[in-house]
Amino acid sequence: MTDSFNFRDLISEFQSNSKYQDLTWTGNFDDYIKLVKENPKVTRNSFQRMYDMIIEKGTDEYIDVKKKIIRYNFFKDEAYNGKDAVFGLDISLMKLVNVLRSAALGYGTEKRVILLHGPVGSSKSTICRMLKKGLEAYSKTPQGAMYTFEWVDEAGEHEDVFGEGIRVFPSPMHEEPLLLIPQELRDKFCDEINRGSKEEFRVKIDGDICPPSRYIFNALLEKYHGDINKVLNHVRVKRLILSEADRIGIGTFQPKDEKNQDSTELTGDMNYRKIAEYGSDSDPRAFNFDGEFNIANRGMIEFVEVLKLDVAFLYDLLGASQEHRVKPKKFAQTHIDEVIIGHTNEPEYRKLQDNEFMEALRDRTVKIDIPYITKLNEEMRIYEKDFNSRILRGVSIAPHTLEVAAMWAILTRLEKPKKANLTRLQKMKLYNGTTLPNYTEDNIKELRKDAKREGLDGISPRYIQDKISNAIVMAQQTNKGSVNPFMVLNELESGLKHHSLISNEELKNEYRELLGVVRQEYEEIIKAEVQRAISADDSALSRLCGNYIDNVNAYTQKEKVRNPFTGKDEEPDERLMRSIEEKIEIPESRKEDFRREIMSYIGRVSLEGKKFDYKTNDRLRKALERKLFEDSKDSIKLTSLVSSVADKDTQEKIDIVKTRLIKEYGYDDVSATDVLHYVASIFARGDVKDKK
């Protein structure tokens, strides 16, 4: 800190900022009418505001299995560096935003409870947290500006109305100032304010002021002999900033045990100290309108595990959703304007379906499934966000460590394919965009349609995060420089013994078998990487691919191939084609089918306006890599790594391979050495037969 630094100057600079002045704006009722005329959107209801908040962050579109998907940038949480970013749930979030859009347009869903339904750890709470944070931030922006009012008696002339010593009486529910306009004048007012407006949005006044404001309004109206203008002179309008911490416009309700549940937590309770002051427990000024429904007015209320609520609470929920009203003790029904979002897990939702007495709630609920992610790349993004170089101290994470953990998580969530020739691993690859023979986008669409419960069961991301954390801590304690996939897989397996949510031994055994599948797949991945690092670079693979495709094209078209060296037309090189196809065990009897399949794939890619790349065809890529590896493996004796003795020439070549692993595949020195030793041990055991 420099000697010239002055904290008071910093505060002064902040307060002189025009944005700060905007946030603390106050004015009289006429000033507010001018604001409404200039910007009618300041009067939006809670659904309209939430929908606009999401849309204004922007969208992008992509095609997934012939279906257009809209991705909303709001859920990337860029304002907080992606801290609460939601991955892989674009379809669910589309459904949520569509519900909000319908509600914003007044099509009926504004009278429903939005119920996020899904297994534990599927981002239900995260979505609610993002919406709450978003509303707080949005209310501070010019486009999200909103206003409320307070009653003012500066001269103290009306203590009998306001209360002894009270000069300012804020609207306890942060209400929209236009609600002060009497019902008889509202239609005419809206016609006038909307006339000539260039905005598509139209001002509409719904609801009534809360009991304390109604009491003050009527008392002042009586004092002024019905002169509404004089009553409105006691109204001061001010900018409203939503804040969960200050309980302004954002509420959260979490059920407690049945003995401690009290409906006044939702609708407010008596202030017994003020009863003595005002003389009656039915005086609205002696009532605290500070229940969660009250304080959430103008914003949103989140119900945590909503279906665990006592039945008495659920009745309040019915009126709050359908009629937008709540019933405080001893007072008339009170208008509220808020988005009601609850979330629940599978067992609780099944109870709701089985309970015939809850039919009314089911009828007032819009259910949105928030399942586990079933795309490998999206699941990996969760762990890449949480486990990065910023939080790791003295430990690195080897390549594919997070991938194998995500792979296992996805496999536990996928239903067993009904097709006998399709494995869960292959299904996972199809979902992730990998091309497999004889499977089109229509097949993938059918697979998803058949698996109705996919993503609603399986392992939670939280379990994976806990086990990765354990592996990192162990690596730190033992001074190991790198966390590798086997360390994490061992943690995942050992944790199954005491997993609190899995009591079924048969299911545990199934998950252990899937760990074996993942281990085998990981071995294939690192063998392929070492093979690529040994054999050649991309240019050599591309040349081999081009040569193969030229010959296959000539073979299927019954044409000849021009020899680039001799300039003569020759028959397709059968020996070359078979040497590549045999690497992925294509039998002689199937070679023609495979070749036609490859040419068909190239044609499809071309029709889509894309350029063919062998890397997008998994089987062709593997075949080319293995062929190139076979052609060049004799130049290096990798098995010499297993012994500690290697001649100088071999060691130099091994160092080159290690450098390629570090440069091209993201390994560090420790993990590259570990992978080379492991793959070398496979070759030393004679386990060189490639698997599909």
Q: How confident is the model at residue 407 (pLDDT cuts 50, 70, 90)?
A: very high
**Statement: residue 653 has pLDDT above 70:** yes
**Statement: residue 521 has pLDDT above 90:** yes
Q: Can you give the pLDDT at residue 368?
A: 96
Q: How confident is the model at residue 692 (pLDDT cuts 50, 70, 90)?
A: very low
* Averaged pLDDT, 421-448: 90
Q: How confident is the model at residue 11 (pLDDT cuts 50, 70, 90)?
A: low
* Averaged pLDDT, 552-569: 86
Write the single-letter amino acid at 536: A
Exposure pattern of 427-439 as b/e (b: 16+ CB <10 Å)?
bbbbbbeebbeeb
Of these ranges, 90-94, 257-261, 538-542, the one predicted with the greatest mean pLDDT is 90-94
Q: How confident is the model at residue 296 (pLDDT cuts 50, 70, 90)?
A: very high
**Statement: residue 689 has pLDDT above 50:** no
Residue 196, class by beta-carbon neighbours within 10 Å (0-12 exposed, 13-18 middle, 19+ buried)?
exposed
Of the chain, the percentage scoring pLDDT greater than 90 comes to 54
**Statement: residue 688 has pLDDT above 60:** no
Instruction: Please tell me the least confidently modeled range out of 554-558, 568-572, 600-604, 682-686.
Output: 682-686
Q: Can you give the pLDDT at residue 638?
A: 58
653 contacts: CB under 8 Å, gap ≥ 6:
635, 636
244 contacts: CB under 8 Å, gap ≥ 6:
132, 136, 250, 251, 252
**Statement: residue 426 has pLDDT above 90:** yes
* Averaged pLDDT, 322-350: 91
Q: What is the DSSP letter of 417?
A: P
Label residue 77 left, alpha or beta by phi (over 0 means left) and psi (-120 to 50 means alpha).
left
Helix (H) or strand (E) run with residue 230 in it: helix 228-232
Q: What is the rounded radius of gyration, in angstroms, for the C-alpha atoms of the chain?
A: 33
* Averaged pLDDT, 659-667: 88
Write the single-letter amino acid at 126: T
Q: How many residues does the chain have?
A: 692
Q: Can you give the pLDDT at residue 377?
A: 95
Q: Can you give the pLDDT at residue 389?
A: 63
**Statement: residue 590 has pLDDT above 80:** yes
Torsion angle of the four alpha carbons 203, 207, 213, 214, in this order, in degrees rounded to the nearest 10: 120
User: % helix / strand / coil in the chain, to the nearest 5?
Assistant: 55, 10, 35
CA–CA dist 622, 649 (Å, integer): 29
- Per residue in 355-369, pLDDT tens? 776 788 888 899 999
